[in-house]
Structure 1
Amino acid sequence: MQDIFVSTLPKLVSSWVEAFPDALLIQDVLEAGSNLEIVSSYSAALVFWLHINDSQNGSLPAAIASVLRSYPDAKIVVLANTPGHAETLQALSAGAMGYAHAYSAPEMLKEIKTVIHHGGIWLGHQLLKRLIETSVKLTGNSPELVEELLGRLTSREKEVAIEAAKGMSNKEIARVLQITERTVKAHLAKSFERLGVKDRLQLALMLNKK
């Protein structure tokens, strides 16, 4: 998948380059489609990282719409200098598949790409936690089904999945279980695969008991 960063910055941020060495940079947020020259065969495998600074907040829906008009199969992640819950929901409603801090670490950017590549949604940790807390109050599976699902996992995968379903971050899970964040990521990836889920919110809804 080709990564394209849409930003008014004169060059790519170092963390973006470290995460995706072959990434491209284009300057005009609202004219991404007309300014971007890419081989048509790439059109179904593009990831647009839309960098929105504080003065551009109002143009976010238009920027997302502009990209999707030219590349309807592309995946979009919004990168914000000052992330906010309202803007996260605005971005997702407009068609983005992810929302994160513009200066996230390279490893997080790679993780975001993995999640959206598999059809999942990436949200900021605090908003994700709030959505999980709200959602689990409204829905749930039978205890028997939850136990059957957990039975598909190894003991360590089960421990990690249960904590993730509470809305805990990888760092928090690592601290609680006294393992590394890398190990947490590996167990979560395997759990997603075994349970057929795409992201943490779906995992939380699946493992929530009535």
Structure 2
Amino acid sequence: MILLASNSQQLLDQWREGVSSLSPVLCIRELNLLLREMQKRTPPVLLLDHDMLGVNSLTEMETLLQSSPKTKVIVSSLGISDEMEWQLFRLGIRGCCREPLPPAAIERMVQAVWQGELWMRRKLVGYMFEELATTTQEKRHIEHAVNNLLENLTRREYEIALLVGRGESNKGIARQLDIAERTVKAHLTEIFRKLAITDRIKLALLIKDTANLDHTDTHSHSS
């Protein structure tokens, strides 16, 4: 079932005309009722009038998305800014329409989003690539910092850290490296001290964030 949500009956009627051939339709004119129906029905697609969200639109949108994570949300708004549109996509909406569409175009939009596509203006694609580039750069900085920390480990400590990152137990590590389990524990204590972390879960996460997880032979360490 496709949910259509707007305070405007005229808009709901226009949308219904466009999507009624795709699926049964439920029209909703109150935000509280929409939230309940989202939780109850988990619809595949919601076509939502942005004006219905009120002044706290980002907060209300986040609540809606959390209430039914599998629902693909399309927002319709004629007066939304580029920045607001991008914030909505960052929250998790899958489409945005900023101009009146005829029924046939509404059907194409809903069908495309339902099938997993994004309905996004070309200008917003630019925002997406800029953010991707920034995120990639930040990730590289983090990996560099983590690798610098790991350089402080001895080769044996690094081997043990890698095995922790792969989910091995102390007993499994001891067996693979042919050392006593108490020796593994002693090494882990020293690893935690050097990396300023408190447990093996944090160590595993830190190791998985590095680019060298599968390249033990190329990583240099003091003996």
Matching residue of 1:20: 19
Q: Which amino acid aligns with 1:53?
A: D
Tell me if 1:97 matches 2:94. yes
Retained in 1: the 8 A contact 2:86–2:124?
A: no
Gap change, CA 1:86 and 1:132, over 3 Å in 2: closer
Matching residue of 2:72: 75
Equivalent-residue separation in structure 1 for 2:52 and 2:26 (angstroms): 23
Equivalent-residue separation in structure 2 for 1:125 and 1:31 (angstroms): 34
Tell me the alpha carbon deviations over residues 109-146 of structure 1, each in whole angstroms, 9 at most, x when there is no partner.
22222222232211135544x559979x99xxxxxxxx
Tell me if 1:5 matches 2:4. yes
Equivalent-residue separation in structure 2 for 1:94 and 1:5 (angstroms): 20
Equivalent-residue separation in structure 1 for 2:88 and 2:34 (angstroms): 16
Retained in 1: the 8 A contact 2:31–2:53?
A: no
Retained in 2: the 8 A contact 1:30–1:62?
A: no
Retained in 1: the 8 A contact 2:94–2:118?
A: yes
Retained in 2: the 8 A contact 1:15–1:103?
A: no
Once superposed, what is the RMSD of the aligned Cα atoms? 3.4
Pick the aligned partner of 1:52 from 50, 53, 61. 50
TM-score (norm 1): 0.50
Q: Which amino acid aligns with 1:32?
A: L
TM-score (norm 2): 0.48
Q: Which amino acid aligns with 2:73?
A: I
Q: Which amino acid aligns with 2:18?
A: A
Percentage identity across aligned positions? 15
Return the offset for 1:13: 3.6
Equivalent-residue separation in structure 2 for 1:114 and 1:23 (angstroms): 14
Gap change, CA 1:26 and 1:85, over 3 Å in 2: same
Gap change, CA 1:107 and 1:54, over 3 Å in 2: same
Gap change, CA 1:11 and 1:54, over 3 Å in 2: closer
Return the offset for 1:14: 3.7
Retained in 2: the 8 A contact 1:29–1:50?
A: no
Give runs of aligned pairs for residues 123-202 of structure 1, distance below 5 A.
Answer: 123-128=120-125, 130=126
Equivalent-residue separation in structure 1 for 2:105 and 2:122 (angstroms): 12
Q: Which consecutive unaligned segments of at least 5 residues does structure 1 have?
A: 139-210
Return the offset for 1:5: 1.4
Return the offset for 1:75: 0.6
SS of match in other structure, 1:53: helix
Paired residues in the alignment total 131
Larger Rg over CA atoms? 2
Pick the aligned partner of 1:117 from 114, 117, 122. 114
Q: Which amino acid aligns with 2:44?
A: L
Retained in 1: the 8 A contact 2:44–2:114?
A: no
Q: Which consecutive unaligned segments of at least 5 residues does structure 2 have?
A: 135-223
